[in-house]
Amino acid sequence: MEHTDYAALGERVYASKLPNGLQILALRRPEYSRQFAFFATRYGGMDLRFRGEDGTGWVDTPAGIAHFLEHKMFDTEDGNALEILAANGAVDNAFTAAHITGYYFEGTRGFEENLRTLLSFVSVPYFTPESVAKEQGIITQEIRMCQDEPETVAYYQLLECLYAHHPIRNQVVGTVESIAGLTPELLYACHRAFYRPGNMVLCVAGRVDPDRVADLAREILPPDASAAAQVDLGQPEPPGAVRPTARREMAVSMPLFALGFKGEPAPAGERLRQELVGQLACEVLLGPSSPLYRRLYEQGLVNATLDCYYDAAPGCAHLMVSGESRDPEQVLEQLLQEAGRLARDGVDEGLWERLKRAAYGGMVRRLNSLESTCIDLAQAYFEGEDYLRFPQRFQSVEREHVRQLIARWCTRERAALSLILPAGGAAQSRERR
Amino acid sequence: MQIRHKALAEGVELAVCQSEQFKTGLLSVTLAVPLAQRTATAYALAPEVLFRGSRNYPDMERLSAAADQLYGAVIGPGVRQRGESQCVSFLCSFIDDRYALDGTALLEPAAQLLGEVLLDPATEGGVFCKDYVAGEGANLADEINARVNDKRGWSIFRLTQEMCAGEAYALDKLGDAQQAVALGPQELWGHYQRLLEGARVIFYYGGSAEPDRVEQAVRRSFASLIRDRNTHLPCQVVARPGQGVRRVEEGMDVTQGKLAMGFRTGGVTMGTPDYPALLVCNALYGGTAHSKLFRNVRERMSLCYFVSSMLDAVKGLMVVSSGVEFAQFDRAEQAILEQLEAVRRGDFDQAEHQAAVRSVVNALLSRRDSQGQMEQDCVTQLLAVGGWTAPEELAAAVERVSPQQVAHVAGQIGLDTVYRLTEKEEG
């Protein structure tokens, strides 16, 4: 199999595309005890409307279906895949995000056998009306649990403020009502539309033999090389936020907030570069060594829970700040002021050099994790880009790019603030013995 | 990749795990003391104040800039509980010299920065700065009060508080919210000086540097800490529950109930002969997706959204945590206990036993792949049993555990306390 060396990072990645369109990426890490495999499809919680199999009409599916499908994929004719892998000592799991669904396992032995299991349960659907009904009960519990998570509620409340109709507004898990109508037929249709090898990537890392991985994938996956269904993400979004603020009361000890600045999606081939510029903009605005962070912290307006990051999916991108604060409105005001100052005066050169260096170190550190690295490689592949070329991207990014992004995105018109306020969080206690 | 540890003074140890596996190096200093009501808050607060600024980098912006300069070294405090010890840790993770763009050595400056934060803080009138103490006191109080936000974590926290009432274990490692806002700079300074003088000290390094180089860097940057000390770190192991199961139920504005059940392990703890069997027993009962709790209570009976068991092997506790509908509390509790009864009877087949052994072995060997986990394990073991057992060695012992041993260990496990977090009653 062909490979690429990334000398500055000490990495080698083997890559190959099978005739059925499946991309295989293998990161050799012989010094690790574990092997990790990640099998993902470019399909997630926001891909709700797609072109039907006859190629003419559009199919609308209920919110939460990609996540529901992820849960159901673990059912096989021979039992639950989780249990099969666990019986082999491996740990496996899956996640559904807005635009990707990934399945993975990690283990220290039986890699090939586990990989067979993974490839087979993800590619062979097996649903019955009974198993779907049962899963509705389980996922209803998961939805309830999300409803009790203040961070999750704050996040989606913010997306509803920022976006008019982009499907990222939908909760990945869906709602109790939206999943109630799911049927095996609908799940099979989504599997056919998006779980085709040409829409998927298999990324492995650790002590692995890339050629064996390719052989197994060839043997187990279908030969079908057709493209995935076309997805409709709706009309382009207006540039501004649709609602400046929203609030809700929950059992929390102090106000929690998520605030966002609506941006624009990056052009093809530029997504990782925009992500880097966006991340650096976050560091400049509100990172731990920024002047504003120190001011807010010293005023007691933010604490160590504060997080500021760039977030994007096909058709949308935004900067996001979340944390706890006694006065989130004040945080937004000072942030807008600081953004105005940076847009006018530009980024301090000393700060810029330090932040770039620190961000570079952060990306090198992330490579310690097989999980993160495989997921990053897979996501970049879906964007048509090469994740491990980040040293080159660092060289091409200048502080003027960061200034421009802040000037364009971080304005009052593009800002929204989502609040979670304390409501009767104190517990009542009863005891009996 | 062995861990080599040596005493630098009485009660002061250095452990080094040399390896080129990672892109980074990790250096930590842990100050361990008995968890006590009188001191817990101060010892949790002091490290937060220290990270507000040192003499040379007197505010967060400058301290953070110094870390940025070291390719974004991640530097910060952590308060951990190990059994009934409170461990005040200072950690620094920095990229390995091999990946620095300008080829500079990073271990020495990282050790120096960490040493400076601990031993040369920013001061006012010879004690901590007043604003820093007030600000961090308020933050610590907020953090303690915010425990309630994570409902699963809260239910486990409340369970252990109730179950171990009267034992040091029940104290919050973060201390008390009211004390946190009341502590003044002078008082906190006094506490911190006593921590530096009296705590057991463990230095840990994982990364590519030679042990000699590490020792030199540590001796240079932490000279005043490397002095003899004699600290006893007791941990009261209660082998069996008292008479009758203790039950606590609390109401809160939640949509899903949380059930947490606390067990005593019959005196089996890390370092005792039955410890490998306890690990297998926990995995078989509720530690994995192949466990009895997962397959029966969650999958077959659909009684819980999640249910799993976990151990505190230093204290000798097992906790089962689950998310259930309010109406299912009784049935879920009963089902969870029935599964334990089945393990005690030896009612499990070869496949279940083997899956449990494999999953424990896998988890142990996987620890090698994380610098942070290796640090955790090494510090825990040095504190709890005074020595280091490699994961491979423990894994080999786990492979030898028989089904009879698992049933025997399960027979020692006794239910102590049940905690339910349920919906708030109207009115």
Claim to verify: residue B210 and residue B70 sit in the same structural domain: yes
Claim to verify: residue A38 and residue A108 sit in the same structural domain: yes
Q: Which of B1, B99, B258, B299 to mutate to test the interface with A (most CBs of A within 10 A)?
A: B99
Is some CB atom of chain B closer than 8 A to the CB atom of A91? yes
| Beta strands B200-207 and A75-76, pairing class | unpaired
List the Cα angle B372/B378/B380 in 5-degree steps: 100
What is the model's pLDDT at position A392?
A: 94
Residue B236 lies in a domain: no
Cβ-count burial A155-168 (b if 16+ within 10 Å, e if not): bbbbbbbbbeebbb
Q: Mark yes or no for CB contact B290/A83 under 8 Å.
A: yes
Claim to verify: residue A351 and residue A216 sit in the same structural domain: no
What does the alpha-carbon distance between residue A64 and residue A47 come to, in Å, rounded to a whole number?
10
Q: Is A3 helix (H, G, I), strand (E, B) or coil?
A: strand
A352 or A88, greater pLDDT: A352
What is the model's pLDDT at position A56?
A: 78
Domain end marker among A187, A220, A253: A220
Element (H, E) at A217: helix A210-220
Question: Mean pLDDT of all residues in chain A?
Answer: 93
Average pLDDT estimate for A312-339? 96
What does the alpha-carbon distance between residue A286 and residue A294 come to, in Å, rounded to a whole number?
9
CA nearest to B63 within chain A: A289
Q: Mark yes or no for CB contact A354/B250 under 8 Å.
A: no
Q: How confident is the model at residue A430 (pLDDT cuts 50, 70, 90)?
A: very low
Q: Which of A91, A25, A376, A29 is nearest to B22 (CA)?
A: A29
The residue with tokens 């050595």 is: B105
Which of A34, A137, A148 is closest, CB to CB, to B254?
Answer: A148
Q: Mark yes or no for CB contact B64/A82 under 8 Å.
A: no
List chain A residues with CB under 8 Å of B69.
Answer: 354, 357
pLDDT surpasses 50 at A427: no
Q: Mark yes or no for CB contact A430/B250 under 8 Å.
A: yes
Q: Mark yes or no for CB contact A83/B149 under 8 Å.
A: no
CATH number for the domain that contains residue A139: 3.30.830.10
Average pLDDT estimate for A159-168? 97
Taking a contact as any Cβ pair under 8 Å apart, which residues of chain A between 318 and 347 contact chain B?
A: 324
What is the model's pLDDT at position B425?
A: 77
Average pLDDT estimate for A361-376? 96
Residue B177 domain boundaries: 3-225
Total domain count, chain B: 2
Strand residues in B35-141 grouped as ranges (E): 74-82, 85-95, 123-124, 127-128
Which of A252, A365, A423 is closest, CB to CB, to B149?
Answer: A252
List the Cα angle A249/A242/A302 in 5-degree steps: 50
Smallest Cα distance from A62 to chain B, Å? 22
Domain end marker among B167, B190, B225: B225
Write the pLDDT tens digit of every residue in B330-387.
Answer: 999 999 999 999 999 999 999 999 999 999 999 999 999 999 999 999 999 999 999 9
Residue A398 domain boundaries: 245-422
Give the type of residue at B164: C
Q: Mark yes or no for CB contact B142/A300 under 8 Å.
A: no
Q: Which of A91, A94, A114, A110 is nearest to A102 (CA)?
A: A94
Which of A82, A256, A368 is closest, CB to CB, to B23?
Answer: A368
Q: Mark yes or no for CB contact A300/B135 under 8 Å.
A: yes
Claim to verify: residue B266 and residue B191 sit in the same structural domain: no
Which of A10, A80, A294 is closest, CB to CB, to B59?
Answer: A294
Claim to verify: residue B349 and residue B404 sit in the same structural domain: yes
Claim to verify: residue B279 and residue B320 sit in the same structural domain: yes
CB B171 within 8 A of CB B85: no
CB A42 within 8 A of CB A100: yes
What does the alpha-carbon distance between residue B300 and residue B294 come to, in Å, rounded to a whole number?
9
Write the pLDDT tens digit of every residue in B308-340.
Answer: 999 999 999 999 999 999 999 999 999 999 999
Residue A239 lies in a domain: no
pLDDT surpasses 50 at A163: yes
CA A360 to chain centre: 21
* Residue B51 DSSP class: T
Residue B232 lies in a domain: no
pLDDT surpasses 60 at A227: yes
Average pLDDT estimate for A135-156? 90
Given a cut of 50, the residues of chain B with pLDDT beneath it are 427
Claim to verify: residue A107 and residue A216 sit in the same structural domain: yes
ipTM of the assembly?
0.87
List chain B residues with CB under 8 Å of A252.
Answer: 146, 148-149
Claim to verify: residue B36 and residue B104 sit in the same structural domain: yes
pLDDT surpasses 70 at A424: no
Which of A8, A303, A427 is closest, CB to CB, to B252?
Answer: A427
Taking a contact as any Cβ pair under 8 Å apart, which residues of chain A between 284 and 303 contact chain B?
A: 288-291, 293-294, 297-298, 300, 303
Residue B230 lies in a domain: no
Q: Mark yes or no for CB contact A87/B250 under 8 Å.
A: no
Q: Which of B358, B356, B387 is nearest to B290 (CA)?
A: B356
Claim to verify: residue B214 and residue B268 sit in the same structural domain: no
CA nearest to B368 within chain A: A33
Claim to verify: residue B217 and residue B273 sit in the same structural domain: no
Q: Is B117 helix (H, G, I), strand (E, B) or coil?
A: helix
CB B333 within 8 A of CB B261: yes
Residue A227 lies in a domain: no
Which of B135, B246, B254 is closest, CB to CB, to A251?
Answer: B254
Smallest Cα distance from B19 to chain A, Å? 9
Q: Which residues contact A232 (CB under 8 A, 6 or more apart)?
A: A49, A50, A51, A58
The residue with tokens 């089996």 is: B268
Q: Mark yes or no for CB contact A364/B95 under 8 Å.
A: yes
What is the model's pLDDT at position A23?
A: 98
pLDDT surpasses 80 at A327: yes
List chain A residues with CB under 8 Å of B244.
Answer: 433
CATH number for the domain that contains residue B24: 3.30.830.10
Claim to verify: residue B178 and residue B288 sit in the same structural domain: no
What does the alpha-carbon distance between residue B369 and residue B417 come to, in Å, rounded to a whole number?
36
Residue B244: how many other CB atoms lie within 10 Å: 8
Distances (CA, A) of A422 to A283, B181, B251: 29, 21, 16
> What interhelical angle do A349-366 and B60-69 show, nearest 10?
60
CA nearest to A93 within chain B: B289
Smallest Cα distance from B126 to chain A, Å? 21
CA-based Rg of chain A, rounded to a whole angstrom? 23
Q: Which residues contact B396 (CB under 8 A, 6 or more apart)?
A: none
Average pLDDT estimate for A272-291? 96
CB A384 within 8 A of CB A431: no
Is some CB atom of chain B closer than 8 A to the CB atom of A153? no
List the Cα angle A124/A125/A126 in 5-degree steps: 120
What does the alpha-carbon distance between residue B197 and residue B225 come to, in Å, rounded to a whole number?
8
CB B28 within 8 A of CB B379: yes
| Beta strands A307-313 and A316-324, pairing class | antiparallel
What is the model's pLDDT at position B144?
A: 95
Claim to verify: residue B273 and residue B135 sit in the same structural domain: no
Q: Which residues contact A85 (CB under 8 A, 6 or more apart)?
A: A91, A92, A105, A107, A114, A117, A118, B289
Give the type of residue at B138: A
Average pLDDT estimate for A380-400? 95
Is some CB atom of chain A closer than 8 A to the CB atom of B254? yes
CA nearest to B70 within chain A: A358
Total domain count, chain A: 2
Taking a contact as any Cβ pair under 8 Å apart, which residues of chain B between 306 and 335 contact chain A?
A: 323, 325
List chain B residues with CB under 8 Å of A137.
Answer: 302
Residue B214 lies in a domain: yes
What is the model's pLDDT at position A426?
A: 42
Which of B68, B143, B305 is closest, CB to CB, to A357?
Answer: B68
Q: Which of A100, A53, A381 is nearest to A228 (CA)?
A: A53
Claim to verify: residue B325 and residue B255 sit in the same structural domain: yes
Cβ-count burial A363-386 (b if 16+ within 10 Å, e if not): bbbebbbbeebbbbbbbbbbbebb
Q: Is B95 helix (H, G, I), strand (E, B) or coil?
A: strand
How many contacts (CB atoms, under 8 Å) link A and B? 209
Residue A301 lies in a domain: yes
What does the alpha-carbon distance between residue B356 and residue A87 come to, in Å, rounded to a whole number?
7
Which of B19, B21, B359 is closest, CB to CB, to A86?
Answer: B359
Q: Mark yes or no for CB contact A354/B244 under 8 Å.
A: no
Is some CB atom of chain A closer than 8 A to the CB atom of B22? yes
Smallest Cα distance from A33 to chain B, Å? 6
Average pLDDT estimate for A219-234? 92
What does the alpha-carbon distance between residue A314 and residue A44 come to, in Å, rounded to a whole number?
11
Claim to verify: residue B96 and residue B219 sit in the same structural domain: yes
List chain A residues with CB under 8 Å of B421.
Answer: 427
Give the type of residue at A392: Q
Residue A430 lies in a domain: no
DSSP structure string for B223-287? GGG-S------------S--SS-EEEEEEES-SSEEEEEEEE-TT--TTSTTHHHHHHHHIIIII
Write the pLDDT tens digit of every residue in A83-94.
Answer: 888 888 888 899
Residue A223: how many other CB atoms lie within 10 Å: 10
Any idea of the CA torsion for B133, B137, B138, B140, to the nearest 10 degrees?
A: 140
Claim to verify: residue A198 and residue A62 sit in the same structural domain: yes
Claim to verify: residue A154 and residue A301 sit in the same structural domain: no
Domain end marker among B192, B225, B258: B225
| Beta strands A415-422 and A245-250, pairing class | parallel
